[in-house]
């Protein structure tokens, strides 16, 4: 079984030029096997990237990357439902479903399942396999013991299991936009204020302690999930795919570091220490070690 690296979709509202430059570097330099593209957090952002999407997919494909298309996390309006149906019916590549509506539309066709859909047990995994799922990215909050059970079940079902090993963990999605509200704006007139925070907006407790990160309608962890040191154990469990979630940093360097650990050329703890100095957030791995997600367990 070959361990592969997946680059998840960009979750933040980056300027189009930055977004294009990011994927150009990924295509030319990053040792990732699969790249997932698409705006999944806020439907209002999607038109900015629509015209460039085809060029990005073509460039990634020409560089030998497998490209998957991502469906939105939360679909509310009829316009959004129509856009999701168009995505599923376009037959432009494998789709990663990020909500149950997309799963319903994809039933009977090969597809992937994103980490925003709760997969907590073997029965759910089996149900998804019966409906055509070929790969499932497990939720970031699962402890190692549960990951091991699901990885074993995935092998028996012929489904690849994936674990996020880098990037802020997605925790929740809302129909309302706290990012806009924090700036005294309404969602319909948000002025795309989330673009001011390319790595998300920090949220603190009332006594000023870092707590969460807000990205438009999405709530994320404050800390950056890093499972570099846990990679050998995950491989031994039978996990075959490892997801890197883009952050506003040198993601090529991140991908190179994780690839080196998977290939046995570098020590995971050493890599974690190195990457921790590149991001303005603490590294965390508590969920994996069955404790508070915001903790870092050595």
114, 142, 280, 292: which is closest to 200 by C-alpha? 280
- pLDDT at 88 > cutoff 90: no
φ, ψ (nearest 5 deg) of residue 37: -125, 155
Q: Which DSSP string corresponds to 48-100? A: HHHHHHHHHHHHHHHTT-EEEEE--S---SHHHHHHHHHHHHT-SS-EEE-SH
pLDDT confidence bin for 116, thresholds 50/70/90:
very high
- pLDDT at 169 > cutoff 70: yes
Model pLDDT, residue 281: 94
Average pLDDT across the chain, whole number: 95
Tell me which fold the domain 4-169+224-284 belongs to. Answer: TIM Barrel (3.20.20)
233 touches 250 (CB < 8 A): no
Task: Compute CA distances 241 → 24, 192, 194, 226, whole Å.
Answer: 23, 33, 30, 15
Model pLDDT, residue 239: 98
- pLDDT at 198 > cutoff 80: yes
Model pLDDT, residue 275: 96
User: pLDDT, tens digit, for every residue of 255-297?
Assistant: 999 999 999 999 999 999 999 999 999 999 999 999 999 999 9
Dist CA 139 CA 120 (whole Å): 8
Percentage of the chain exceeding pLDDT 70: 100
pLDDT confidence bin for 167, thresholds 50/70/90:
very high
218, 209, 98, 233: which is closest to 169 by C-alpha? 218
36 pairs with which residues across the strands? 68
Model pLDDT, residue 1: 61
Q: Taking the model in full, what pTM does it have?
A: 0.96
Model pLDDT, residue 290: 97
- pLDDT at 72 > cutoff 80: yes
**Alpha helical stretches, state H, 158-206:** 178-182
pLDDT confidence bin for 92, thresholds 50/70/90:
confident
User: pLDDT, tens digit, for every residue of 34-70?
Assistant: 999 999 999 999 998 888 999 999 999 999 999 999 9
- pLDDT at 172 > cutoff 70: yes
Percentage of the chain exceeding pLDDT 90: 90
- pLDDT at 89 > cutoff 90: no
pLDDT confidence bin for 155, thresholds 50/70/90:
very high
User: pLDDT, tens digit, for every residue of 121-132?
Assistant: 999 999 999 999
Helix, strand or coil for residue 226?
A: strand
Please work out, in degrees rounded to the nearest 5, the angle formed at the alpha carbon of residue 275 by the alpha carbons of 294 and 220: 35
Task: Compute CA distances 185 → 177, 199, 204, whole Å.
Answer: 9, 20, 20
- pLDDT at 91 > cutoff 80: no
- pLDDT at 135 > cutoff 90: yes
Three-class secondary structure assignment of 201-215: EEEECCCCCEEEEEE
Helix, strand or coil for residue 178?
A: helix
Model pLDDT, residue 90: 80
**Which helix or strand (DSSP H or E) is residue 28 part of?**
helix 16-29
Helix and strand counts by DSSP (H, E) for the chain: 10, 12
Three-class secondary structure assignment of 126-159: HHHHHCCEEEEECCCCCCHHHHHHHHHHHHHHCC
Dist CA 72 CA 225 (whole Å): 22
Dist CA 13 CA 114 (whole Å): 20
Task: Compute the residue count for the chain.
Answer: 298
């Amino acid at each position: 079984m070959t361990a592969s690296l997946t680059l998840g979709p960009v979750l933040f509202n980056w300027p189009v030029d930055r977004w294009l430059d990011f994927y150009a570097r990924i295509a030319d330099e990053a040792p990732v096997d699969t790249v997932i593209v698409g705006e999944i957090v806020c439907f209002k952002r999607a038109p900015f990237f629509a015209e460039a999407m085809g060029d990005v997919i073509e460039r990634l494909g020409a560089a030998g990357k497998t490209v998957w298309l991502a469906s939105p996390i939360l679909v509310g309006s009829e316009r959004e439902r129509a856009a999701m149906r168009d995505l599923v019916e376009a037959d432009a590549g494998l789709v990663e479903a990020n909500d149950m509506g997309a799963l319903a539309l994809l039933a009977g066709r090969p597809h992937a399942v994103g980490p925003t859909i709760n997969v907590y047990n073997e029965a759910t995994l089996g149900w998804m396999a019966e409906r055509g799922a070929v790969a499932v990215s497990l939720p970031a909050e699962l402890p190692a013991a549960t990951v091991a059970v699901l990885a074993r079940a995935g092998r028996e079902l012929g489904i690849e299991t994936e674990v996020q090993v880098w990037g802020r963990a997605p925790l929740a999605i809302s129909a309302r936009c706290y990012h806009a509200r924090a700036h005294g704006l309404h969602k319909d007139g948000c002025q795309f204020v989330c673009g001011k925070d390319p790595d998300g907006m920090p949220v603190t407790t009332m006594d000023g302690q870092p707590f969460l990160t807000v990205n438009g309608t999405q709530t994320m962890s404050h800390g950056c999930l890093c499972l570099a040191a846990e990679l050998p154990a995950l491989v031994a469990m039978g996990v075959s795919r490892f997801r890197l979630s883009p952050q506003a940093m040198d993601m090529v360097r991140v991908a190179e570091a994780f690839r080196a650990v998977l290939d046995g050329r570098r020590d995971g703890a050493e890599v974690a220490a190195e990457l921790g100095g590149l991001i303005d957030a603490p590294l965390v791995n508590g969920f994996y070690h069955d404790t508070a997600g915001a903790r870092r367990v050595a």
